[in-house]
Chains A and B, each alone.
Chain A
């Protein structure tokens, strides 16, 4: 287990930026409440369909995306709800997508694993482990060829570190010095398979460095640590300095998918260790304890987020399913 400090590591510059703190907090809570609501809807039987929850990892998506502009690109994974929300995708349209409704981000044709919103640079999630990485690489190549200063981010997990494709992309990103940030969310498990079994070294950053890509390892349950390291990576990318690799050590609280019981492959003690380092609680202790935000402000955000999620569920439930004619539309552009 990583040596995670129990407190988040906010420096005085960050603690002085109340607007940023509110935004980080709201997005982390928005992701958590969205995911908890999806879980409850699945448990009650009101909702069906494949879904992989992001609970526990919120600080990674939020810390990374807080450094991005609206038109920067993100390629996501099967566990992508957090990335989408952090990139600015509307939660009502996301919820409608999970309900398979016409009003969903993908008009009901993608579901949880493919949520995308091209308007905010969310290129979409992919259900094939590692397959989003070359998409982000291509977006970075596209940005540079078109002469923009956009940056692309590839989110992937420790499971993807077993896919050869990721190493092809590390190599290409370096030889072409592309504005790309590899964000490896190491949550300890590829489906049910522990990382210490599946990867021959714990030092994932060293793998990137072997390709000539600057790399760092951060406590992914500390949003300030992620935000800080991501700032360096984005500055490098936008400044023409090429790719970076960020290993964010984190943990998912639920199983691989909704319905997977993680106690079949991990202990209660291990779960307790990470829950004691919960990213939202650590954030709250850091900012309230040091007087950067008042607790009442956080509670007000909690309430607003709660209303937003309930409105999203109502929007989804009241939306129409796709018309049968949609079955064969958008197979081709023409």
Chain B
């Protein structure tokens, strides 16, 4: 029987296997181990990362390769860029994607642009591993983490030439995309949805890669294409089940790579179904969802038999209250409604 693993353990296994395979891979970030410097008091690996994804790595690889940083994202991500151009392959953990607010310069102006500015003299084999997404905590009991710890925001990275950006949707793609990101010679932002951390799925033990730049068709269908990103892929699958009960065959495409964008898979699917719904937990303006819609408008408009629908968060920061947060995130009901709307038109 195939082995099942938690999403966060799949990430952990990817890091461990790559660090074993390649001595130039290092991990750095806030509390990636935790309780740093107190091994003499018996404290080691206090946290193992905020989601536990890096637990156990410091015992295996030591503090020279599993580096707890002070809280200074601009400084340590800048240092990760410097290390990447001088022979290492750093994985820098940006605890929550919203913290990009204090470190966009080393990610964009240095990490993403260096290779081009320097005329191809250097590569920047850097991974920025970051947590995205709303908490999904029980609506009736308080709330989640609010605006500064629950954003998705990957469209910022997709916009920057020189960066790649991926968002796994299950444990299998988590391990495969993280390994692919570490082996990639370009800077890759790896977006890990916090609600997926505790989900389980089949994960092969041997190292493998999921190619960056490729979407994956999870469920074939001939009536409407549902495109999901990260946790929204599961929402699309649930919507497809419900649509099946209404006699609608939905195709579900798991985007996985936000940049480069797999235009071919998207166009090919819409050519067959004639209908498109893009589901994205990020806010709508200048978003990946709208970008996918624009690609279809540009390349497959003649094949559309109804309007392109996007189901996204509202143009608002993520709220705290559990009731509001639940209303913020796209639901299977909303996806079903959007699919029926485009089929009706």
Residue of B nearest to A322 (CB): B119
Q: Is A1 an interface residue (CB 8 A)?
A: no
Q: Is B83 an interface residue (CB 8 A)?
A: yes
A137 touches B119 (CB 8 A): no
Q: Is B16 an interface residue (CB 8 A)?
A: no
Among B69-77, B172-180, B310-318, the stretch that binds chain A is: B69-77
Contacts of B115 in A (CB 8 A): 330-333
Q: A109-B116, A118-B121, A124-B114 are in contact. Are A172 and B79 (CB under 8 A)?
A: yes
B118 touches A106 (CB 8 A): yes
B82 touches A123 (CB 8 A): yes
- Measured between alpha carbons, how far is A109 from B86 in the docked complex, in Å? 21
In the complex, number of A-B residue pairs with CB atoms less than 8 Å apart = 149
Q: Is A107 an interface residue (CB 8 A)?
A: yes
Interface residues of A in 108-159 (CB under 8 A from B): 108-110, 114, 116-118, 123-124, 126-128, 131, 133-143, 145-146, 152
Q: Is A192 an interface residue (CB 8 A)?
A: no
- Measured between alpha carbons, how far is A110 from B109 in the docked complex, in Å? 12
Q: Is B26 an interface residue (CB 8 A)?
A: yes
Q: Within the complex, which residue of B72, B86, B106 is in contact with A142, where a contact is CB–CB below 8 Å?
A: B86
Interface residues of A in 59-105 (CB under 8 A from B): 73, 75, 104-105
Q: What sequence of 0s and 1s flags, for each residue 96-123 of chain B, a beta carbon within 8 Å of any chain A beta carbon?
A: 0000000001100110001111111111
Contacts of B120 in A (CB 8 A): 107, 329-330
Q: Is B207 an interface residue (CB 8 A)?
A: no
Q: Within the complex, which residue of B70, B80, B109, B123 is in contact with A138, where a contact is CB–CB below 8 Å?
A: B80
Contacts of A106 in B (CB 8 A): 117-119, 121
What distance in Å separates the Cβ of B19 from its nearest Cβ neighbour in chain A?
12
Q: Is A175 an interface residue (CB 8 A)?
A: yes
A131 touches B83 (CB 8 A): no
A134 touches B82 (CB 8 A): yes
Number of interface residues of B (CB under 8 A): 45
Residue of B nearest to A133 (CB): B78
- Measured between alpha carbons, how far is A48 from B161 in the docked complex, in Å? 26
B109 touches A131 (CB 8 A): yes
What distance in Å separates the Cβ of B165 from its nearest Cβ neighbour in chain A?
12
Among A163-171, A237-245, A302-310, the stretch that binds chain B is: A163-171
What distance in Å separates the Cβ of B212 from its nearest Cβ neighbour in chain A?
10
B164 touches A109 (CB 8 A): no
What distance in Å separates the Cβ of B213 from its nearest Cβ neighbour in chain A?
10
A128 touches B105 (CB 8 A): yes
A172 touches B72 (CB 8 A): yes
Q: Is A334 an interface residue (CB 8 A)?
A: yes
Contacts of A114 in B (CB 8 A): 117-118
- Measured between alpha carbons, how far is A114 from B113 in the docked complex, in Å? 11
Q: What sequence of 0s and 1s flags, for each residue 126-140 of chain B, a beta carbon within 8 Å of any chain A beta carbon?
A: 000000000000000
A169 touches B75 (CB 8 A): yes
Contacts of B82 in A (CB 8 A): 75, 123, 134-142, 152
Q: Is B227 an interface residue (CB 8 A)?
A: no
Residue of B nearest to A175 (CB): B70
Q: Is B288 an interface residue (CB 8 A)?
A: no
Contacts of B123 in A (CB 8 A): 333
Q: Is B24 an interface residue (CB 8 A)?
A: yes
Q: Is B267 an interface residue (CB 8 A)?
A: no
Q: A138-B86, A142-B83 are in contact. Are A116 and B75 (CB under 8 A)?
A: no
What distance in Å separates the Cβ of B63 from its nearest Cβ neighbour in chain A?
10
What distance in Å separates the Cβ of B329 from its nearest Cβ neighbour in chain A?
32
Contacts of A137 in B (CB 8 A): 75, 78-79, 82
Contacts of A141 in B (CB 8 A): 79, 82-83, 88
- Measured between alpha carbons, how far is A172 from B92 in the docked complex, in Å? 15
Contacts of A110 in B (CB 8 A): 117-119
What distance in Å separates the Cβ of A98 from its nearest Cβ neighbour in chain B?
14
Contacts of A140 in B (CB 8 A): 82
Q: Is B162 an interface residue (CB 8 A)?
A: yes
- Measured between alpha carbons, how far is A117 from B161 in the docked complex, in Å? 22
What distance in Å separates the Cβ of B279 from its nearest Cβ neighbour in chain A?
28
Contacts of A116 in B (CB 8 A): 117-118, 121-122
Contacts of A329 in B (CB 8 A): 120
Return 6 A-B CB contacts under 8 Å, by A number: A75-B82, A116-B122, A134-B81, A137-B78, A141-B83, A142-B83
Q: B interface vs A, CB < 8 Å?
A: 24, 26, 64-65, 67, 69-70, 72, 74-88, 90, 105-106, 109-110, 114-123, 125, 161-162, 164, 184-186
9 interchain residue pairs of minimum CB distance: A138-B82, A134-B78, A168-B75, A107-B119, A333-B185, A138-B79, A168-B72, A106-B119, A330-B120
